[in-house]
Amino acid sequence: MSKSILFSALLLLFFGCQSPKSDPFQNNTIATAHPLASQAGKAIFAQGGNAFDAAVAAGFTLAVVEPSMSGIGGRLQAIYQIASGEIGGVDASTQVPMNYKPTTEKYSSGYQTIGIPGVVAGLLKLHTTKGLLPLQQVMAPAINYAENGFEILAGEAIRQQSAKAVFEKYEGTKKHFLNAQGAAFQAGELVVQKTLAHTLKTIALKGKAGFYEGEIAQKMVADIQANGGLLTLEDLKNYEALEAEVLEGKFQGLTVKALNLPSYGAITIQILQILDQLTPAETEEDWALDLGRTTELAYTYRKYQQNKDSLAQILSYQRAGIWAAQIEQQQLELVAENDTELPGSWTAAIGHTTHLTAADDQGNVVSLTQTIGPNMGSKVATPDLGFLYAVTLGGYLGEYKPGDRSNSHISPTLFLDQEQLILALGAAGGSRIVPAVTQVAHRYLAQKKSLQEALHLPRVYPYQDSLWLENHPEVKDLNADFNPTLISVKLIDEKARFGRVHAIAYDIVNQIWKGAADPDWEGTVENFPAQ
């Protein structure tokens, strides 16, 4: 045997004995607020789709099976990281029609509250720019559930039942959200939505133009204008999902990425940066007090986010250190906000929104929140289209000018260790969204709890002169024993009042994504192995 042949044989033997190089991500994971949405995402992973495909499939599915929380007539905010490391965001918030004239009259439901829907444009932007599979394939699960039906979950049935009296005011809503006997759907009842299936098929076939132009747009405008609303064909045709501005902060030596308005990512970063410079709490009681005081302080800055100089202060790590010192020295003197002067969404008892997070075996991650506002949104559905519209006008989200996009507490958030994303999360729950995100992140990253435990441990929320403390049966054993002479504490024995978080974390040692669904909701996590 020649020396060259022998050398080649030795090389083959050497490299043949080496373990094959493993991919950095061993699985695909999706966590959503509904089992069918999570299963839709898993099915898309199984068909070769990436995290963007799975997130879009789940988003459309949630619009079908959880209409009290979100829908294609609503708004969306998303933040993502692609496998190359690039981070971006999508702003698909609802927009004020151009012919809107400010009024002192307030509305909480009805045609007068309807603005330009954004969810469809937002989901399609994510799919068109970052997805792999054809749109019809990605939307197939949602279309299937609409056309062939699904069994309504108990929580969704209760929320729809609570809105029945308002449903009866609107022909389209009665047609699509009450059963053949004129009653609200009961848990376990099969819900079939043929009209919505037709609407979704049109979008799947024609893309953005299938919703914002043509037959669907004409039916939207005709119905809304005939009943006192403002939407025009021009409003719909001109609507675009925009690139969202990504903000940056620091927490526990990590980089925090969140979205600027219309998302409240600046307030999320502000809270985390203050917490980062507080002396670590030694007891659960001290932790709750720190979180309550920090959130109370940060929430006084919500109305200043649009001012460039104020935003710079909100995002300043140095300024956060000053606030942390004032909190520890009990030198904060906050001016109480008058509830009657605040937008209804800031004081609503329960926020109605949904969140999902998806990650794939290539390293793509999507954290996406979509909503229609209060329970069942505007309560209005166009008879020939089958979906509910979000509340945009009427004061619920604040006062706006023509062309403005509606702001909300939505705050999908990413945490990175250098360039490696290690936590992606977001929440539903109105004004409880930001505290839910910051408290779960603090439990996981600062207290080193497991992701599941971080979601299970009790949360707090400062409201008026007291600190609300989550205290339903599932978390009672975990709560601290508060000294009522130090602070007024109100125990809230009700599930889902403190935000609902769906999160994914990266286990660097085992190179796997781990998902967690909020225990107060009916959501699930689905995994699919890397191919």
Please give the distance of CA 29 from its chain centroid, rounded to a whole number: 17
Please give the distance of CA 470 from its chain centroid, rounded to a whole number: 21
Contact 72, 117 (CB under 8 A): yes
What distance in Å separates the CA atoms of residue 315 and residue 349, rounded to the nearest whole number?
A: 28
Could you tell me the residue ranges of all domains in the chain? 27-243+343-529
pLDDT given for residue 471 in this prediction: 85
Residues of the chain with pLDDT under 50: 1-21
pLDDT given for residue 480 in this prediction: 63
| Inter-helix orientation angle 135-148/35-46, to 10° | 140
What residues form DSSP beta bridges with 507?
512
pTM of the model: 0.92
What distance in Å separates the CA atoms of residue 250 and residue 270, rounded to the nearest whole number?
A: 9
What distance in Å separates the CA atoms of residue 73 and residue 115, rounded to the nearest whole number?
A: 9
- Considering only the C-alpha atoms of the chain, give the largest distance between any 2 of them, rounded to a whole number of Å: 95
Assigned fold of 27-243+343-529: Glutamine Phosphoribosylpyrophosphate, subunit 1, domain 1 (3.60.20)
pLDDT given for residue 6 in this prediction: 41
Contact 295, 436 (CB under 8 A): no
Burial (CB count within 10 angstroms: exposed 0-12, middle 13-18, buried 19+), residue 472: middle
Give all strands of the β-sheet with 489-492 in edge-to-edge order.
460-463, 466-470, 489-492
Q: Which has the closest alpha carbon to 438: 452, 423, 422? A: 423
DSSP 89-108: EEEE--B--TT----S---S
Give all strands of the β-sheet with 512-517 in edge-to-edge order.
246-251, 254-259, 413-417, 420-428, 500-507, 512-517
pLDDT in tens, 247-293: 999 999 999 999 999 999 999 999 999 999 999 999 888 899 999 99
pLDDT in tens, 383-402: 999 999 999 987 655 678 89
Q: End-to-end CA distance of the chain, in Å?
A: 41
The residue type at 142: A
pLDDT given for residue 270 in this prediction: 98
Read off the tokens for 251.
């927490």
pLDDT in tens, 332-360: 766 555 555 655 555 565 657 999 999 99
What distance in Å separates the CA atoms of residue 218 and residue 187, rounded to the nearest whole number?
A: 34
What distance in Å separates the CA atoms of residue 93 and residue 72, rounded to the nearest whole number?
A: 12
Contact 160, 185 (CB under 8 A): yes
Read off the tokens for 118.
């954004």
What distance in Å separates the CA atoms of residue 25 and residue 51, rounded to the nearest whole number?
A: 13
* DSSP H helical ranges for 131-264: 135-148, 154-162, 164-167, 171-177, 194-206, 209-212, 214-226, 233-238
Q: What is the dihedral of CA 257, 451, 432, 116, to 10 degrees?
A: 60
Burial (CB count within 10 angstroms: exposed 0-12, middle 13-18, buried 19+), residue 370: buried
Read off the tokens for 116.
């330009």
Does 20 sit behind a cis peptide bond, omega within 30 degrees of 0 on the bond before it?
A: no
In this structure, the strands spanning 420-428 and 500-507 are antiparallel
